[in-house]
Amino acid sequence: MPRRIAFKLPRDERLKTALVTTAGSLLKTDKSPDEALGDLFTDVQTSKVYNDNKTFIDLVPRGRMKAIQKEYLLAKDDPNFDLREFVNRHFYEFAPHKNEEFHADPTQSVSQHIHILWKHLTRRNRLNRGSLIALPYPYIVPGGRFSELFYWDTYFIMRGLAADRKWVMIENMVKNYAFMIRKFGYIPTANRTYFLSRSQPPFFSHMVKLLAGHKGRTRVLAEYLPYMLAEYRFWIKGKRKLEKAEHKAYARVVEMPNGMYLNRYYDNKMTPRPDTFVQDTMRADETPHREADRLYLHLRAAAESGWDFSSRWFENPLDITSIHTADIVPVDLNCLLYQLEQTIAESYRAIKNPLLARKFQNLAERRAKAIQTYCWDSKEKFFVDYNFHHDKPTGQLSLAAVFPLYARIATKEQADAVAARLEKDFLKPGGLVSTLVNSGEQWDAPNGWAPLQLIAIEGLRHYGHHDLANEIKHRWIRVNMKVFTSHHKLVEKYDVEGAHGLGGGGEYPLQDGFGWTNGVLAALLAEH
């Protein structure tokens, strides 16, 4: 792979990018609020000025954060000091849609509802505002407390946009991700400064292929090949440092016992997450036998996975303080990276470069072999995550098992076994449950999530399990429709086991909106 990647932009693209850079530099900072505000950040969060830790870090400072912090240090010991008044005076909320609270029309169909929601969830932000990072093009947010462009959510939003033929918006968001790759060298969790230490499940190549199916394969693959290469480099960075690394793991790369390379979720920081500062510090206080920085690393790595949180990351399935995400080689991540390698190979073939196409095809084939070696549990007859610290499968069964089917890595026999287990243990009245453990965490039972339903449906179809795929589809649509009929809204996650259908658990209340729910439901309803 070439050491340098040339990003060749058309003139209008260069202009748009330059405008964002120039405009955004007015309050430019790459520091997250916890780093920039120091004691002020800690005191606001621990004093619970806001019920949700995310609220404060999403506020926009009325001046430079360094100056605000300095004023705070001088004023805070005054007996008449009012912390809430100080925050209100120095920060404001940037929420252009707040005064446009969305109310569903009960006379409209769910498809009409989703169509209208796209506009309500659209944002345009070409100025850096506090922690919010400027982007050159409009984008769609998940909704609720999530008012930024989230990485893996976006692919599933795009699937619904494609069903609604909103190709301009799809391309806008692909361009926004290309912009962030140019700016940061990777795609962060979302366009917030406090998310810059980690990414999310790498679906960018899937977005590119979706767009290529509309605009032309060769043209689009060639245009975005440099960006896919850059993202790939982010995930494999650190290979040369593995020899001296603990457990042969460095950053997001792990050398397996047989010399193969796989990847893990990671985070570049070992501090409490700013958006859940109180919860993380309380967990550290409750776990004195663990080093706090190691606990924070594993919590942050789970946040990169998108499964924050799930028993699949816990030593004790019922205890989040036993989390050890960074010790695990996740089957879903490696299937996505296999697909990234495959798409890069396809892109090189499209531009008539067979040598590099073969290189990445070989990398993909080696990764597929490694997934088969370490992530297939012959006893359970199911794909699982692998604990490379203990050199054995984690033993935690989850819907991550459908990713080898989605990526077409599984053998026919393995796919049949996974399908049988899904039907026996995971299939519930409202669709597929995420895990078989009810831990109170949101990515565990009894919850089901839109992206996992779609991955499972399409993975099963790859291996001829159409009846099961359609049953999952119909049950998922049914629980979505049940909640919509009762509450006139679509939500982040669903209880696929219970009567009411509304999901729960986790670190924050159930969110309305909701981006990827809308996208997956629209895509499934559009099928003939």
| Type and span of the H or E element at 43 | helix 39-46
- Tokens encoding 379: 């006893």
Instruction: Give dist(CA 447, CA 449) in Å, integer.
Output: 7
Quote the Cα angle for 279-285-286, to 5°: 90
pLDDT at 240: 86
Catalytic residue among 58, 308, 377, 507: 308
Helices (H), 351-465: 354-375, 403-406, 412-421, 450-462
What pLDDT sits at residue 106?
84
CB–CB of 316/322 below 8 Å? yes
Q: Where do the domains of the chain lie?
A: 11-23+99-273+298-525, 31-92
pLDDT (0 to 100) of residue 103? 73
Chain centre to alpha carbon of residue 142 = 11
CB 261 within 8 A of CB 370: yes
Over the stretch 228-276, which tens digit does the pLDDT of each residue have? Answer: 999 999 999 998 899 888 889 999 999 999 999 999 999 999 999 999 9
Note whether 495 and 430 are within 8 A (CB): yes
CATH number of 11-23+99-273+298-525: 1.50.10.10
Collect the ranges in the chain with pLDDT lower than 50.
Answer: 1-4, 22-28, 99
How many Å from the N-terminal Cα to the C-terminal Cα in the chain?
Answer: 42
Judge whether 391 counts as a catalytic residue: no
Number of H helices, E strands in the chain: 20, 16
Report the pLDDT value the prediction gives residue 20, as an integer from 0 to 100.
60
Q: Report yes or no: 144 and 513 within 8 Å, Cβ to Cβ.
A: yes
- Rounded CA gap, 226 and 353, in Å? 14
pTM: 0.95
**Options 153, 492, 507, 512, the catalytic residue:** 492
| pLDDT number for residue 243 | 85
- pLDDT score of 31: 87
Judged by DSSP in three states, 448 sits in strand
> 497 catalytic, yes or no?
no
Residues near 98 by beta carbon (within 8 Å), at least 6 away in sequence: none
Per-residue pLDDT, 104: 78
